[in-house]
Amino acid sequence: MAQIVVGMSGGVDSSVAALLLKRQGHDVIGVFMNNWEEKDESGVCTSEQDYADVRSVCDRIGIPYYSVNFAREYRERVFSHFLDEYRRGRTPNPDVLCNREIKWDVFLKFALSLGAEKLATGHFARLGGGEAAGWRLLRAADENKDQTYFLYMIGQEALSRAMFPVGGLSKAEIREIARKNDIPVSEKKDSTGVCFIGERNFKQFLSQYLPAQPGDICTPDGRRVGRHDGLMYYTLGQRRGLGIGGGGDGRRWFVVGKDLKNNVLLVEQGEDSPLLYSERTVIEALTWIAGRAPVPAGGTLICQARFRHRQPLQEVAARLRPDGLMDLEFASPQRAITPGQSAVLYLGEECLGGGVIQ
């Protein structure tokens, strides 16, 4: 059987992934990856607790474990881009970039240096195809947990070494396997938020790295209704934390745009504001699972797209432009299409790849 490195986070998904591979007779090594060295608001380094969970899980399963530190690489290749995007007034998705730049590059190379043939993770995704026909990235059996949205930037070389042992299971099935095998983290709650920020106060975190520039909050017709703390703290469609209060027609206020030139946050009342909806968008920085676009330049592909994690798939017409960008036209208007986020394309169960919303 093969030697396999399992990227272990201290959560139940990667723990069960390691258990299943060990049961299949593989030579399994658990590796905890530390990408962020900072304490939370309580003065606790959360990675220390996660690594303690990894150790207890590996002891229970009976596999060796390591801890590796990629904090420098993460800051250089993911976090610096994260800050650049916020400076531009956009809303980036660092988890997508982390998968390409860290997990399926730096971490994969580390796994191979240990002599491993494969790198397994607890991602909810499945593999199809193979060496001859090319590897395909497929949606998970548990559609509510599918994580192919975060994996669309990885390519053929990474997929040829990848394993997703829990991709065919539901979350309930994973927890039940963990319980039956006395895995210590069987009831541990799922982590939320950006990978390196976790559940801390996002505004407080970001203010440590970027200077805030307060400005006016205005309606699209120029009426001033409040003050914002800095455009970087807000995203399209946001309704909480605006500090505007009542007024107007009594409905809630929503962010409908940013005037970067004048440092003005644009808001309007009502979640059905036409300014929150769009019929098309342009995506850049295109990456394709197959290593090539699914349509020739100038051609159009009718497919599905997802503009945020867990969003139901949306019908789109994707046209590849000669300049390397892609136009997406929506079958129905889409709400809060946000610059800096990813648009990921699908044909049925297959994830094709995608790009960043321009």
Residue 320 · residue 331 · CB < 8 Å = no
Please report how the helices 46-61 and 12-23 are oriented relative to each other, as an axis angle in degrees rounded to 10: 20
Catalytic residue among 98, 218, 303, 351: 98
DSSP state of 215: E
Active site residue 195: yes
Catalytic residue among 45, 58, 195, 303: 195
CA 159, CA 169: separation in Å to the nearest integer?
Answer: 19
Residue 158 · residue 123 · CB < 8 Å = no
Active site residue 303: no
Q: Which residues contact 299 (CB under 8 A, 6 or more apart)?
A: 319, 320
CA of 352: how far to CAs of 153, 260, 293, 314, in Å? 10, 33, 8, 14
Angle, alpha carbons 226-229-231 (nearest 5°): 95
| Tokens encoding 54 | 């990894």
Q: Write down the residue that tokens 């969003």 correspond to.
A: 311
Q: Report the catalytic residues.
A: 98, 195
